Amino acid sequence: MNTYILLKNKMPSSIKKAWIIKDLITFFTSIVVIEALHFLAKIFWHSTWINKSELILIIIVTSIAVFSLILIPYKYFFHRYEINQTEVAIQTGFFFRKTIYIPLVRIQHIETSQGPILRLMGLTELSIHTAASTHHLSGLDIKTAANLRTQILELVEVIREDV
Amino acid sequence: MSKYQRLHPLVILKKSISWSFSFILILIFDILRNPSNKFNWLSSTSIFGALIAAAIIFNAYRWVTFKYQISSTTLSIKTGIFFKREQIIPFSRIQSIHQESWFLFRPFRIIKLTIETASSGSKVESTILELVPLSTYDLLEKLRLGKNDIIETDIKQANEQHYKERYSVSLNDIIVFSLVDFNVISGLLGLIAAVYHFSNFSNKYLNPFLNRVAASGLFIISSFIIIIIIVTIFVSIAKNIFKYYKFKVYRELDNIIIERGFFTRTILSVPIERIQAIHTKGSLLQILLSLRTVELLLASGKKSENNENTEDTTFFLFPIINRRLLSTKLAQIIPEFTEKFNQKEPQSFPCPPHYFLFSRFHFLGLFLLIPLFFWNSSSGWKFLFGILIISFTLLSVINSIWKTKTQSSTYYEKGLLTVRTVHFFILNEYLCPLNKIQSISISTTPFLYYQQLGHTALSLKTGETALKIKLKYLSWPICENIKKCCSPKIKKYTLKK
């Protein structure tokens, strides 16, 4: 069996921490929301279904959180990117493998954004806009992002093409 | 032209009339609320008058504040008093120009111009000059085509050469088009749905009528249905005749000009280098009659105002054309695309058919038969549902087999890729210039990768959404080959580390 060719660059390893924090935050907020809904529902209705549905929802939320926490190393291993002379390549997934190639010439603009979690880790999220679609590269360190930016600006100087 | 100009003053009248048309509905509802009361009549008409007055005042304000200027390279537009906005459109960024002339305004030589640019992301920016004299359009076109330094006589000669009509649609063609088009069927379905909906509401009134109809026999029902079908067919024919009346396509320098329409005559001009792809469609019926429909895919999609024609996002190049004529007509109108076909060795990517891989998921539909088996109902219903499920599965399997047989792609040097796919029993052929392909993605699963297979998807910008052209179950080296061919070649550039 041929081995699947993975791209060169992994995300910086601190992205794992960011993903863990993100997962935990979504888990706790959803638990809080469910509890609040439960509390309100108990005031206004009287039904045995309220407790049951609360239990089911909590089980669903916990299992989602546990799964996504377990899958973080997997996601980290297969979430890769590569920037070469002509294109940006973004790779995701093991079971559903997908590689997107974006020619640098086609890039319309690049957006960097940084939420509080990513800022804590010193990372930025890069959104690459082409005329047709937007591709996200979550978590690059600031230096790489800046490099990419200058590189694309240079290429724009070399080639002038339009939609 | 260096001074800022206003639109033609008739715009106030046109806009106000179109506004008051929408007010009239409200007025009618208001009167119907209490038709016997005279005071009600008076009050609602006075409200209507006030609304019209407000519309006229507002439109006059708009007319006063809206100014445009055409310079040698740009079109600039100023709007507003309190919030001033100036919009500058370089001619080189224009995607397409629509010219619409309403039949009432035709004697005044006044037209509506819509100028479209493709802005980033999903938005399409369009600028509308509501009513301007025809000479403005001519001037704009002249400047845009860079004719301003050519001597007048040369222009005339050039015009005589290029204005030759290359493709036009006869009345016959329009009728065939509307019969073959899916619009007829969808219109019928829409009508049936509407009738069904309506019958739910007024069950009381309709039921006795239906009973009477049923009593007088199936003959009347069937004739009724036939009449409905005929009426819808005629309506769709009439609609298409008005829309594609005197449809003409011709080349003018680097532009394709498309003229059409009966009441409102629309002239669309598209620069060749702005065409994202050319899309040839053939439904089953069209293939049987060896006919095709050709569309232009553009980065801009015309936003229809007032929802008059919502279908205006498709730009037909040839609404209906014989398959044998297609290549010669294309060669006449867009030689830039077709001359690349004459290469000696185009690189075609082999797509061997994979019958099982394509159709395997469609067999899952058969699992619906299992709950049917346990369902307690009369055997007639069971039989009917069983037949439905089986025929549906069969159809989708046949579709997927057709899909895998026809799927193909060819690469022509100097930047052209042709892709042929089948989607819901419609044969699609795309001619894409390589420099319009925005991104390429290759996807696979471990199971497919073990067999060295993968999918390729090309994304193009069309209108407000991206178009994805998918080629499925190609062998892995071919996926990579397509990617290599499609990625732009950049000379004399080295990466700075």
The contact set of B with A (CB < 8 A) is 92-93, 95, 118, 120-121, 274, 276, 299, 435-446, 449-450, 452, 459-461, 466-467, 483, 487-488, 490, 492-496
* pLDDT of res. B217: 67
* pLDDT of res. B340: 76
Q: Give pLDDT tens digits for B98-136.
A: 888 877 777 778 888 888 776 544 455 667 777 777 778
- Percent with pLDDT over 70 in chain A: 93
Partners of A131 on chain B (C-beta within 8 Å) are: 118, 120, 299, 438, 461
- Indicate yes or no: CB of B490 within 8 angstroms of CB of A133: no
Quick one: closest CA in B to A130, which residue? B438
Q: Which residue from B93, B435, B438 is facing A132, i.e. has the nearest CB?
A: B438
Which of B34-43, B59-68, B133-142, B303-312 holds the top average pLDDT?
Answer: B59-68
Q: Which residue from A105, A129, A135 is facing B121, i.e. has the nearest CB?
A: A129
Distances in Å between the Cα of B134 and the Cα atoms of B79, B145, B306 are 22, 17, 23
Q: Give pLDDT tens digits for B138-195.
A: 787 777 766 544 444 444 444 545 555 577 777 777 777 777 665 556 666 666 666 6
* Least-confidence region, from B147-151, B320-324, B395-399, B421-425: B147-151
* pLDDT of res. B152: 46
* pLDDT of res. B164: 57
- Is the Cα dihedral B234, B167, B104, B128 positive or negative? positive
Q: Give pLDDT tens digits for B380-417.
A: 778 888 888 888 889 888 888 888 888 888 888 777 88
Distance from CA of B121 to the nearest CA of A (A): 6
C-beta of residue B443 within 8 angstroms of C-beta of residue A101? no
Over residues B317-323, mean pLDDT = 82
Quick one: closest CA in B to A108, which residue? B120
Q: Which residue from B95, B439, B445 is facing A106, i.e. has the nearest CB?
A: B439
Distance from CA of A157 to the nearest CA of B (A): 11
Q: How far is it, in rounded angstroms, from Cα B65 to Cα B57?
A: 12
For residues A68 and A86, membership in a common domain is answered with: no
Q: Which residue has the higher pLDDT, B343 or B194?
A: B343
For residues A130 and A90, membership in a common domain is answered with: yes
pLDDT at A64 over 90: yes
Distance from CA of B454 to the nearest CA of A (A): 9
Residue B307: pLDDT band by 50, 70, 90 thresholds?
very low
Residue B497: pLDDT band by 50, 70, 90 thresholds?
very low
pLDDT at A89 over 70: yes
Q: How far is it, in rounded angstroms, from Cα B122 to Cα A82?
A: 26
Cα B350-B355-B357 angle, rounded to 5 deg = 95
C-beta of residue B236 within 8 angstroms of C-beta of residue B188? no
Query: What total of structural domains would you count in chain A?
Result: 2
CATH of the domain at A107: 2.30.29.30
Q: Which residue has the higher pLDDT, A30 or B488?
A: A30
* pLDDT of res. A63: 95
Residue type, position B302, single letter = K
For residues A46 and A114, membership in a common domain is answered with: no
DSSP per residue, chain A: -PPPPPPSEEPPTHHHHHHHHHHHHHHHHHHHHHHHHHHHHHHH---THHHHHHHHHHHHHHHHHHHHHHTHHHHHHH-EEEE-SSEEEEEE-SSSEEEEEEEGGGEEEEEEE--HHHHHHTEEEEEEEESS-EEEEEEEEHHHHHHHHHHHHHHHHH-----
For residues A92 and A153, membership in a common domain is answered with: yes
**Which of A45, A75, A105 is the last residue before a domain boundary?**
A75
For residues A91 and A31, membership in a common domain is answered with: no
For residues A89 and A141, membership in a common domain is answered with: yes
Quick one: closest CA in B to A159, which residue? B490
- Indicate yes or no: CB of A85 within 8 angstroms of CB of B493: yes
A139 in a structural domain:
yes
Which of A75-89, B385-399, B451-465 holds the top average pLDDT?
Answer: B385-399
pLDDT at B338 over 60: yes
- Pick the residue of A133, A135, A150, A159 with the most B CBs within 10 A to test the interface with B by mutation: A133
C-beta of residue A103 within 8 angstroms of C-beta of residue B439? yes
Residue type, position B288, single letter = L
Residue B198: pLDDT band by 50, 70, 90 thresholds?
low
C-beta of residue B143 within 8 angstroms of C-beta of residue B72? yes
* pLDDT of res. A28: 94
C-beta of residue B314 within 8 angstroms of C-beta of residue B243? no
For residues A52 and A28, membership in a common domain is answered with: yes
Assigned token pair, B477: 């080296």
For residues A52 and A84, membership in a common domain is answered with: no
* pLDDT of res. B358: 84
Alpha carbons within 13 angstroms on the beta-carbon side of residue B176 total 16
- Indicate yes or no: CB of A87 within 8 angstroms of CB of B445: no
Partners of B436 on chain A (C-beta within 8 Å) are: 163
Over residues B244-251, mean pLDDT = 81
- Indicate yes or no: CB of B439 within 8 angstroms of CB of A99: no
Partners of B450 on chain A (C-beta within 8 Å) are: 1
Residue type, position B193, single letter = A
Partners of B299 on chain A (C-beta within 8 Å) are: 131, 163
For residues A55 and A96, membership in a common domain is answered with: no
Quick one: closest CA in A to B492, which residue? A158
A135 in a structural domain:
yes
Average pLDDT value for chain B: 77
Over residues A3-15, mean pLDDT = 80
A144 in a structural domain:
yes
Q: Write out the residue range of the structural domain in which residue A69 sits.
A: 13-75
Residue type, position B53, single letter = A
* pLDDT of res. B329: 83
The B453-462 sheet, strands edge to edge: A9-10, A80-83, A87-92, A97-103, B439-444, B453-462, B465-475
* pLDDT of res. B49: 86
Partners of B274 on chain A (C-beta within 8 Å) are: 163
For residues A84 and A153, membership in a common domain is answered with: yes
A163 in a structural domain:
no
Q: Which residue has the higher pLDDT, B196 or A153?
A: A153
Please return the burial class of B286, using the count of CB atoms within 10 Å of its CB with bins 0-12, 13-18 and 19+.
buried
- Indicate yes or no: CB of B439 within 8 angstroms of CB of A84: no
**ipTM surpasses cut 0.85:** no
Q: How far is it, in rounded angstroms, from Cα B362 to Cα B344?
A: 40
For residues A36 and A102, membership in a common domain is answered with: no
A23 in a structural domain:
yes
Quick one: closest CA in A to B489, which residue? A86
- Indicate yes or no: CB of A101 within 8 angstroms of CB of B441: yes
Distance from CA of B119 to the nearest CA of A (A): 8
Distance from CA of B248 to the nearest CA of A (A): 26
pLDDT at B272 over 90: no
Residue B306: pLDDT band by 50, 70, 90 thresholds?
very low
Distance from CA of B100 to the nearest CA of A (A): 25
For residues A39 and A100, membership in a common domain is answered with: no
C-beta of residue B247 within 8 angstroms of C-beta of residue B317? no
* Least-confidence region, from B116-130, B191-205, B441-455, B470-484: B191-205
Distance from CA of B397 to the nearest CA of A (A): 23
- Pick the residue of B119, B298, B438 with the most A CBs within 10 A to test the interface with A by mutation: B438
Distance from CA of B116 to the nearest CA of A (A): 13
Over residues A21-29, mean pLDDT = 92
C-beta of residue B44 within 8 angstroms of C-beta of residue B27? yes
Assigned token pair, B484: 């290599």
Partners of B441 on chain A (C-beta within 8 Å) are: 98-101
- Indicate yes or no: CB of B488 within 8 angstroms of CB of A151: no
Q: Which residue from A1, A133, A162 is facing B438, i.e. has the nearest CB?
A: A133
A51 in a structural domain:
yes
Q: Which residue has the higher pLDDT, B315 or B154?
A: B315
* pLDDT of res. B2: 58
Quick one: closest CA in A to B462, which residue? A132
Q: How far is it, in rounded angstroms, from Cα B438 to Cα B466?
A: 9
Over residues B272-285, mean pLDDT = 84
Partners of A101 on chain B (C-beta within 8 Å) are: 439-442, 483, 487
Which of A61-75, B72-86, B220-234 holds the top average pLDDT?
Answer: A61-75
**Which of A28, A60, A75 is the last residue before a domain boundary?**
A75
Over residues B426-443, mean pLDDT = 87
pLDDT at B80 over 50: yes
- Indicate yes or no: CB of B446 within 8 angstroms of CB of A4: yes
Over residues B456-483, mean pLDDT = 84
Q: From the centroid of its chain, how far is CA B397? A: 29
A6 in a structural domain:
no
Q: Which residue has the higher pLDDT, A45 or B201?
A: A45
- Indicate yes or no: CB of B438 within 8 angstroms of CB of A159: no
Q: Bridge partners of B270? A: B256
Q: Give pLDDT tens digits for A91-136.
A: 887 788 888 888 877 887 788 888 888 888 888 888 888 877 888 8
Distances in Å between the Cα of B306 and the Cα atoms of B15, B19, B113, B169, B404 are 11, 10, 16, 28, 42
A8 in a structural domain:
no
- Indicate yes or no: CB of B483 within 8 angstroms of CB of A101: yes
- Percent with pLDDT over 70 in chain B: 80
pLDDT at A65 over 70: yes
Over residues B420-425, mean pLDDT = 85
Quick one: closest CA in A to B447, which residue? A95
Rg (CA), chain A: 21
